[in-house]
């Protein structure tokens, strides 16, 4: 991005609502006789649909993605446009962001801050602490694939949908008496984008296809049915573009002819066509950009060409639904759902449309599954969807609100695996951030400030007023402990504990004693992006920093207890935590944002950072800290309800934590306006920023289930607008999967499945009246205690399901959550897994790969978890496959299952798991195969256990 554009966006962001960027308002008119199309009804209304194409408006196009590859599908009758992304196409290349002048200036900066000479401190920070370069680099588009069909004149019966239950877009229309259909999806198992064209009259499909791009690219026709676009990412901030990429589009047709020359693909008179789009990138990781991008693109395309369309589609749907189907939600339906999606948004303020909340909730889950999968980059400010070389705020990772918000709904809505890219990013930051910690603070551990990018920049950027915030890495590290609370995965905790420890170490080394107050404080830092005096945001010990550090220190201390390590370090962090400034109530009855009782320079500023303690943290709670809880409410009243998209989304979460259902719902409605939601349901800062989508999904979840307080709070903020509903599959900390049903705003039934044995505390209005509680796994009635009138406490057993219901409510079989595949389950009749019958495992040549065979005895319908190490050699790692082969010949192949780590040439795939039903029989054997980077190399280590 040019310096001018970046500064403009920063200025707009600082101004509050980004008003200069407000798009011209959009409208959509309701149709009196509108009904939802059959495929939308078949998807139970979990679909976006439109009766017009997107035209040239990107915010009307529909997103598809597989975590790595993304496309915006426009659905124009005359020219189809797929705007393409690959999640590693970042401007520039590896760079060292640390400023070696920093450490020498630090003492003087701190002195100036403590002397209230903030402007002078900021000037010195701008000279000595800014990163190299002073801004980070942008996530960029690949380009477009365009299919020209000829004139649309005379077309009718147009319809366009995005089915969230199958992650597929469909465009249908009638032209010259022929019904045409286009279907598009991004497949994670096959790592291609698939566009399928069909017509109900033979030999009716004719088009020519070309790539175009704003990048430096060369178009070509590598063979008679394929076109290619070879390019390199842009230069930026003085760093040369170095990510090479190749996009390929190949056509497979039935009937007619296909040819390709000079970069144009021609299909003539076909009856059906499958266009396969494959993209390879040379980005290997934040410090290596020499990957075989052409090999990746070609291998993926060649492999997909050998698979029939129906098989590609069913593999995609199976893979996607394994994640999506874990949660279902029904908040009721009105005739408002018979209008196209854009109409529903435009009239949401005045119409009762509870289904729209369910749709927006699931749209957030859809976007997360489509933009963040194990092994991919985390979802950035735009997920993976970006049509520009200079997107707003570079479409990177803003850590002081946006990146954490992207992942708030991950565990709570049962998508744990989608979280993994964040932990990979944190691991990278422990390396780049250690360098910044050393160079700029003379400290150990690691630090990251308010932004990072594909190169894991960790220094101060954009100017002191925005960037001089030390606790980015600390906030990210708290996510590790929070994730662990959901999954209970000790190996995950062990693997990520060093990041938590390093983040804490940095603050043990850098916190300084406040000269008059005596507390340990960060200096310099800020309360994100909000000046406390004219043009001065830099300060010491802002409230948010103290809250984050309390969470970091407590999280690392508890993690060290779980892992049985570092008792001295634990003592140190706990005693340091005790010396942090406590939260205070200010003169306006609010939570004080800074150590001094300053009044913010902008009363309605979008950041309400000092309520981090209310959400996502649990330092401010209704029952634990009633005074602070009241002050949090007052803080929100003072700031007002208005805000940018993500700011509104955070406020839904805040009001849900305050258990104020009508207000949380009011904020939700504020978000469903044409200035905050685009026709394609992308959230608008404005401009588009995906955090608002994820924050909204999280907010709706917080209205239905909370678990931040050592208890499951069931329906804590159910708004009157959703009087009847049900939700199945939400997750709570402690390892609980929850189903709930209610009518007339009264809970009917709660069904809770416990992953682990322990004490379950449930809070809910249901418990204030008479209710029945059963362990549905063994039919017993558990003993309970009643610490409060609305609280029930019981001892739960791992794998058991518990049902609490109002008397007379018939148990609903569909309310029982299914087993969460990410969590180990104790078998009811412990089967035994024998060691491999072949040691070392036998290998067979590609393509069947290497396998170890295990014998399992016992009647068993659980799952298996495996771990395998494979020598990848020089093959670039683009993914891995794990196959489970059963004696009846059934083979289940999972791409991207589990997590991988690479050490030298060795790749270890951990936690690859299969959780489906096994072939019946008292004894069975199965094989475990792993292949990496398209090559089936001999595994050097295979282990496997039942789950």
Binding mask 472-511 for ligand FUC (x = CB under 6 A): ----------------------------------------
Q: Which is nearer to ligand FUC, 62 or 403 (CB)?
A: 403
Those residues whose C-beta lies under 8 Å from the C-beta of residue 273, and which sit 6 or more positions away, are 196, 197, 205, 251, 252, 253, 254, 256, 258, 267
- Phi, psi dihedrals of residue 35, rounded to the nearest 5°: -135, 150
* Minimum distance of ligand FUC from residue 376's CB (angstroms): 21
Most distant CA atoms of the chain, gap in Å: 84
What strand order describes the sheet that includes 328-330?
A: 328-330, 725-732, 736-743, 746-754, 801-805, 772-775
Question: Distance between CA 362 and CA 165 in Å, rounded?
Answer: 9
Residues numbered 330 to 389 that lie near ligand FUC (CB under 6 A) are 381
Angle between helical axes of 661-671 and 691-704 (0-180°, round to 10):
160
Q: Which is nearer to ligand FUC, 9 or 43 (CB)?
A: 9
- Angle at 181 (CA atoms; ends 78, 193), nearest 5 degrees: 90
Q: Which is nearer to ligand FUC, 403 or 738 (CB)?
A: 403
Residue 713 has what DSSP assignment? Answer: E
Q: Which is nearer to ligand FUC, 165 or 527 (CB)?
A: 527
| E strands present in 93-191 | 143-148, 156-163, 168-175, 178-187
Question: Distance between CA 37 and CA 42 in Å, rounded?
Answer: 9
**Interface residue with ligand FUC, options 172, 299, 402, 653 (CB under 6 A):** 402
Residues numbered 645 to 664 that lie near ligand FUC (CB under 6 A) are 646
606 binds ligand FUC (CB under 6 A): yes
Residues numbered 288 to 327 that lie near ligand FUC (CB under 6 A) are none
* Minimum distance of ligand FUC from residue 479's CB (angstroms): 18
529 binds ligand FUC (CB under 6 A): yes
Question: Distance between CA 605 and CA 598 in Å, rounded?
Answer: 14
880 binds ligand FUC (CB under 6 A): no
Q: Which two tokens stand for residue 482?
A: 């929070």
Q: Which is nearer to ligand FUC, 633 or 685 (CB)?
A: 685
13 binds ligand FUC (CB under 6 A): yes
Q: Which is nearer to ligand FUC, 211 or 650 (CB)?
A: 650
Q: Which is nearer to ligand FUC, 299 or 390 (CB)?
A: 390
Q: Which is nearer to ligand FUC, 199 or 399 (CB)?
A: 399
* Minimum distance of ligand FUC from residue 639's CB (angstroms): 14
* Minimum distance of ligand FUC from residue 675's CB (angstroms): 15
Residues numbered 248 to 267 that lie near ligand FUC (CB under 6 A) are none
**Interface residue with ligand FUC, options 416, 644, 885, 947 (CB under 6 A):** 644
* Minimum distance of ligand FUC from residue 451's CB (angstroms): 8
437 binds ligand FUC (CB under 6 A): no
| Rg over CA atoms, the chain | 27
Helix (H, G, I), strand (E, B) or coil at 773: strand
Q: Which is nearer to ligand FUC, 137 or 265 (CB)?
A: 137
Q: Which is nearer to ligand FUC, 97 or 526 (CB)?
A: 526
What's the distance, CA 31 to chain centroid? 35
Question: Distance between CA 531 and CA 305 in Å, rounded?
Answer: 57
Binding residue count for ligand FUC, defined by CB under 6 A: 12
Is 584 exposed, middle or buried (CB count within 10 Å of its CB: 0-12, 13-18, 19+)? middle
Binding mask 676-695 for ligand FUC (x = CB under 6 A): ---------x---x------
Q: Which is nearer to ligand FUC, 14 or 429 (CB)?
A: 14
900 binds ligand FUC (CB under 6 A): no
Question: Distance between CA 253 and CA 258 in Å, rounded?
Answer: 7
Question: Distance between CA 55 and CA 76 in Å, rounded?
Answer: 6
* Minimum distance of ligand FUC from residue 466's CB (angstroms): 6
* Minimum distance of ligand FUC from residue 9's CB (angstroms): 8
What sign does the CA torsion over 397, 401, 406, 408 have?
positive
**Interface residue with ligand FUC, options 393, 446, 655, 854 (CB under 6 A):** 393
* Minimum distance of ligand FUC from residue 402's CB (angstroms): 5
* Minimum distance of ligand FUC from residue 445's CB (angstroms): 25
Q: Which is nearer to ligand FUC, 466 or 767 (CB)?
A: 466
Is 903 exposed, middle or buried (CB count within 10 Å of its CB: 0-12, 13-18, 19+)? exposed
Those residues whose C-beta lies under 8 Å from the C-beta of residue 380, and which sit 6 or more positions away, are 139, 395, 396, 397, 690
751 binds ligand FUC (CB under 6 A): no
Q: Which is nearer to ligand FUC, 2 or 744 (CB)?
A: 2
Q: Which two tokens stand for residue 314?
A: 């069913």
Question: Distance between CA 755 and CA 820 in Å, rounded?
Answer: 8
Question: Distance between CA 744 and CA 752 in Å, rounded?
Answer: 22
Question: Distance between CA 739 and CA 776 in Å, rounded?
Answer: 14
* Minimum distance of ligand FUC from residue 235's CB (angstroms): 22
Neighbours of 150 (CB within 10 A): 12
Element holding 269 (H helix, E strand): strand 264-270
* Minimum distance of ligand FUC from residue 13's CB (angstroms): 4
* Minimum distance of ligand FUC from residue 454's CB (angstroms): 16
* Minimum distance of ligand FUC from residue 95's CB (angstroms): 21
Those residues whose C-beta lies under 8 Å from the C-beta of residue 338, and which sit 6 or more positions away, are 34, 35, 36
Q: Which residues, listed in sequence order, are joined to residue 670 by a DSSP beta bridge? A: none
629 binds ligand FUC (CB under 6 A): no
Q: Which is nearer to ligand FUC, 393 or 742 (CB)?
A: 393
- Angle at 295 (CA atoms; ends 292, 300), nearest 5 degrees: 130
398 binds ligand FUC (CB under 6 A): yes
In this structure, the strands spanning 712-714 and 758-763 are: parallel
SS percent in the chain: helix, strand, coil, step 5: 30, 30, 40
* Minimum distance of ligand FUC from residue 650's CB (angstroms): 11
Q: Which is nearer to ligand FUC, 373 or 606 (CB)?
A: 606
Q: Which is nearer to ligand FUC, 545 or 755 (CB)?
A: 545
Q: Which two tokens stand for residue 858?
A: 């016992």
Neighbours of 513 (CB within 10 A): 12
Residues numbered 23 to 52 that lie near ligand FUC (CB under 6 A) are none
Query: In 808-823, which positions are buried (b, 16+ CB within 10 angstroms) versus exposed (e)?
Result: ebeebeebbbebbbbb
Q: Which two tokens stand for residue 643?
A: 């805000």
Question: Distance between CA 519 and CA 747 in Å, rounded?
Answer: 46
CB 862 within 8 A of CB 947: yes
What sign does the CA torsion over 57, 59, 60, 61 have?
positive
* Minimum distance of ligand FUC from residue 239's CB (angstroms): 21
* Minimum distance of ligand FUC from residue 368's CB (angstroms): 18
* Minimum distance of ligand FUC from residue 391's CB (angstroms): 10
Q: Which is nearer to ligand FUC, 501 or 607 (CB)?
A: 607
Q: Which is nearer to ligand FUC, 199 or 381 (CB)?
A: 381
* Minimum distance of ligand FUC from residue 540's CB (angstroms): 21
Binding site for ligand FUC (CB under 6 A): 13, 381, 393, 398, 402, 529, 606-607, 644, 646, 685, 689
């Amino acid at each position: 991005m040019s310096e001018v554009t970046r500064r403009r966006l920063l200025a707009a962001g600082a101004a509050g609502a980004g008003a200069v960027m407000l798009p011209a308002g959009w409208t959509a008119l309701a149709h009196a006789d509108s009904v939802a199309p059959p495929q939308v009804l078949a998807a139970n209304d979990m679909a976006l649909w439109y009766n017009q194409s997107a035209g040239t408006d990107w915010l009307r196009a529909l997103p598809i993605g597989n975590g790595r590859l993304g496309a915006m599908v426009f659905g124009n009758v005359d020219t189809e446009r797929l705007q393409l992304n690959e999640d590693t196409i970042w401007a520039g290349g590896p760079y060292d962001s640390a400023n070696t002048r920093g450490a020498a200036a630090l003492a003087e900066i701190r002195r100036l801050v403590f002397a209230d000479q903030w402007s002078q401190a900021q000037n010195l920070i701008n000279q000595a602490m800014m990163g190299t370069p002073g801004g980070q680099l942008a996530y960029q588009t690949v380009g477009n694939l365009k299919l020209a069909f000829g004139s649309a004149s005379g077309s009718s019966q147009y319809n366009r949908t995005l089915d969230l239950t199958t992650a597929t877009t469909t465009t249908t229309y009638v032209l010259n008496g022929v019904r045409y259909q286009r279907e598009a999806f991004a497949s994670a198992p096959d790592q291609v984008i698939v566009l399928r064209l069909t017509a109900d009259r033979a030999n009716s499909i004719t088009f020519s296809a070309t790539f175009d791009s704003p990048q430096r690219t060369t178009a070509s026709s590598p063979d008679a049915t394929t076109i290619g676009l070879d390019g390199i990412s842009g230069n930026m901030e003085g760093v040369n573009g170095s990510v090479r990429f190749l996009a390929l589009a190949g056509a497979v047709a039935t009937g007619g002819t296909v040819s390709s020359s000079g970069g144009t693909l021609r299909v003539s008179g076909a009856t059906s066509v499958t266009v396969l789009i494959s993209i390879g990138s040379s980005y290997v990781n934040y410090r290596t950009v020499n990957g075989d991008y052409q090999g990746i693109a070609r291998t993926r395309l060649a492999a997909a060409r050998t698979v029939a369309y129906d098989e590609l589609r069913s593999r995609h749907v199976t893979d996607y639904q394994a994640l999506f189907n874990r949660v279902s939600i029904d908040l009721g339906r009105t005739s408002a759902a018979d209008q196209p999606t854009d109409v529903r948004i435009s009239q949401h303020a005045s119409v009762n449309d509870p289904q729209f909340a369910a749709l927006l909730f699931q749209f957030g889950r859809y976007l997360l599954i489509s933009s963040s999968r194990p092994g991919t980059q985390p979802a950035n400010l735009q997920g993976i969807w970006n049509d520009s070389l200079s997107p707003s705020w570079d479409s990177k990772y803003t850590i002081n609100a946006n990146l954490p918000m992207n992942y708030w709904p991950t565990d709570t809505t049962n998508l744990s695996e989608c979280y993994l890219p964040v932990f990979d990013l944190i691991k990278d930051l422990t390396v780049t951030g250690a360098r910044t910690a050393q160079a700029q603070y003379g400290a150990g551990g690691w630090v990251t400030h308010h932004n990072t990018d594909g190169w894991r920049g960790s220094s101060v950027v954009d100017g002191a007023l925005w960037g001089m915030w030390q606790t980015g890495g600390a906030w990210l590290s708290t996510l590790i402990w929070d994730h662990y609370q959901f999954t209970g995965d000790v190996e995950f905790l062990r693997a990520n504990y060093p990041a938590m420890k390093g983040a804490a170490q940095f603050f043990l080394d850098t916190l300084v004693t406040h000269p008059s107050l005596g507390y340990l404080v960060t200096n310099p830092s800020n309360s994100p992006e909000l000046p406390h005096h004219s043009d001065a945001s830099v300060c010491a010990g802002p409230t948010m920093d103290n809250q984050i550090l309390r969470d970091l220190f407590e999280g690392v201390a508890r993690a060290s207890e779980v892992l049985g390590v570092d008792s001295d370090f634990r003592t140190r962090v706990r005693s340091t935590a005790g010396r942090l400034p406590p939260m205070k109530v200010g003169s306006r009855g609010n939570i004080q944002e800074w150590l001094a009782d300053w009044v913010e320079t902008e009363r309605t500023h979008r950041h309400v950072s000092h309520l981090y303690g209310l959400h996502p943290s649990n330092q401010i709670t209704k029952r634990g800290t009633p005074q602070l809880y009241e002050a949090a409410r007052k803080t929100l009243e003072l700031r007002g309800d208005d805000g940018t998209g993500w700011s509104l989304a955070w406020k839904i979460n805040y009001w849900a934590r305050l258990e104020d259902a009508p207000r949380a719902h009011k904020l939700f409605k504020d978000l469903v306006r044409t200035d905050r939601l685009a026709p394609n349901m992308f959230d608008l800062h404005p401009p588009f920023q995906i955090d608002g989508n994820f924050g909204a999904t999280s907010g709706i979840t917080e209205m239905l289930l909370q678990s931040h307080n050592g208890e499951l709070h069931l329906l804590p903020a159910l708004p009157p607008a959703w009087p009847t509903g049900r939700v199945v599959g939400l997750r709570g900390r402690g390892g609980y999967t929850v189903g709930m049903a209610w009518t007339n705003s009264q809970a009917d039934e709660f069904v809770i499945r416990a992953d682990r044995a322990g004490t379950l505390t449930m809070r809910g209005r249901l418990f204030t009246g008479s209710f029945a509680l059963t362990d549905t796994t063994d039919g017993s009635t558990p003993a309970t205690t009643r610490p409060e009138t609305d609280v029930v406490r019981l001892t739960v057993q791992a794998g058991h399901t518990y049902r609490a219901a109002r008397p007379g409510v018939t148990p609903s079989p569909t309310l029982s959550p299914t087993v969460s595949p990410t969590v180990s389950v104790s078998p009811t009749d412990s089967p035994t897994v024998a060691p491999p019958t072949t040691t070392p495992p036998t290998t067979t040549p590609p393509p069947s790969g290497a396998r170890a065979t295990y014998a399992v005895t016992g009647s068993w319908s659980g799952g298996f978890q495996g771990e395998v190490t494979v020598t990848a050699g020089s093959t670039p790692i683009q993914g891995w496959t794990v196959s489970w082969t059963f004696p009846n010949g059934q083979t289940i192949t999972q791409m991207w299952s589990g997590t991988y780590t690479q050490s030298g040439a060795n790749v270890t795939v951990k936690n690859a798991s299969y959780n489906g039903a096994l072939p019946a029989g008292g004894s069975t054997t199965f094989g475990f195969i792993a292949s990496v980077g398209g090559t089936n190399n001999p595994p050097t280590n295979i282990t496997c256990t039942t789950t």
